[in-house]
């Protein structure tokens, strides 16, 4: 260990405590205070030994092993900022990141885990979220995390071991789930998907809960059988790296010409555009949004059943329904 390690650990402990107080003030884990202990105990800096910060000249790399003491201090402070961190780039494209901690806290609370639950995480990232789950549920095989990229799963495995956690880390296509580890009581995705993979539903026990980012929202589903699940979006906005693998679809360029200027700035309207892409054009979507009182995310939901999936406004059997891929 280098001479700076004691200082680094001290700075990390102070910064981690400040982050927990910040999330406390945000009210993110109301309803399950056990997550407060997890965020207090799990050292995020071990999962981001380096990361990238966008600047006027491109991305700046911050590294915990820098010879520059001030650079190391900036790295520690950034590791405990309540902000997403870019952790892996390829040709300028963001491949992996560590999500904003307060958003992670809200997602984990919304997952409603119980002691003894078997959890699948889709999108291993740095391994930090899997460590929080392992801290909450125990490190005896209840937590499985999967990612498509071998270098991501290998680094996540190393980070987890350095922090003292050993969930099952799998390299594979997250859209296919992990059938050999099923059945699951909870599935949480940390990447954006265009639809709900049928494999997830089939690998869940009845009553299981699925939480996945979709169209800049967070969808929560209750599984009612091997082919049926239904639920609503949380009010929270969420932006994630898209899923890589067979479940990925390339985003389409959408022209907003002809829309009022205020519509382009309304995030809930852009959520509706993302949810209904390929079904409604922007003018149709805007007319509907205005007519229905400018609904926020919490009024939308998704149903999976009968070999198909559809999004809806207010009522799964109501007049406003749109097929998902």
Q: Which sequence positions are flagged as catalytic? A: 96
Count of CB atoms within 10 A of residue 264's CB? Answer: 12
Residue in the block written with tokens 């003018």: 283
Count of CB atoms within 10 A of residue 167's CB? Answer: 25
- Rounded to an integer, what distance in angstroms lies between the CA atom of residue 122 and that of residue 139? 18
Strands 50-55 and 217-225: unpaired
- Rounded to an integer, what distance in angstroms lies between the CA atom of residue 155 and that of residue 166? 13
- CA quadruple 158, 164, 170, 174: dihedral sign: negative
Say which DSSP state 286 is in: H
- Rounded to an integer, what distance in angstroms lies between the CA atom of residue 203 and that of residue 143? 14
Q: Where are the alpha helices (DSSP H) in the chain?
A: 5-26, 34-41, 69-79, 101-111, 128-137, 150-162, 198-202, 261-265, 267-275, 282-291
């Amino acid at each position: 260990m280098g001479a700076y390690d004691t200082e680094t650990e001290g700075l990390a402990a102070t910064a981690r405590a400040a982050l927990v107080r910040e999330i406390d003030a945000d009210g993110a884990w109301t309803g399950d205070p056990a997550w407060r202990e997890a965020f207090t105990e799990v050292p995020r800096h071990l999962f981001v030994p380096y990361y990238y910060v966008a600047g006027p000249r491109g991305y700046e790399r911050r590294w915990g092993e820098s010879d520059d003491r001030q650079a190391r201090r900036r790295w520690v402070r950034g590791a405990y900022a309540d902000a997403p961190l870019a952790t892996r780039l390829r040709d300028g494209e963001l491949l992996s990141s560590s999500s904003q901690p307060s958003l992670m806290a809200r997602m984990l609370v919304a997952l409603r885990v119980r002691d003894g639950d078997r959890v699948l995480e889709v999108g291993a990232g740095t391994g930090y979220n899997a460590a929080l789950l392992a801290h909450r549920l125990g490190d005896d095989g209840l937590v499985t995390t999967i990612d498509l990229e071998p270098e991501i799963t290998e680094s996540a495995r190393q980070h987890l071991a350095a922090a003292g956690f050993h969930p099952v880390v799998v390299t594979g296509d997250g859209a296919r789930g992990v059938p050999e580890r099923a059945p699951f009581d909870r599935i949480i995705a940390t990447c954006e998907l265009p639809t709900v993979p049928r494999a997830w539903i089939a690998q869940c026990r009845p009553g299981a809960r699925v939480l996945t980012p979709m169209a800049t929202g967070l969808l929560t589903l209750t599984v009612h059988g091997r082919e049926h699940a239904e639920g609503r979006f949380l009010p929270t906005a969420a932006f994630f790296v898209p899923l890589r693998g067979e479940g990925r679809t390339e985003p389409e360029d959408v022209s907003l010409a002809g829309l009022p200027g205020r519509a382009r700035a309304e995030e809930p309207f852009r959520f509706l555009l993302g949810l209904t892409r390929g079904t409604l054009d922007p003018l149709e979507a805007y007319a509907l949004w205005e007519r229905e009182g400018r609904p926020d995310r919490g009024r939308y939901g998704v149903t999976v059943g009968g070999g198909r999936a559809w999004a809806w406004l207010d009522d799964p059997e109501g007049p406003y329904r749109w097929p998902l891929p």
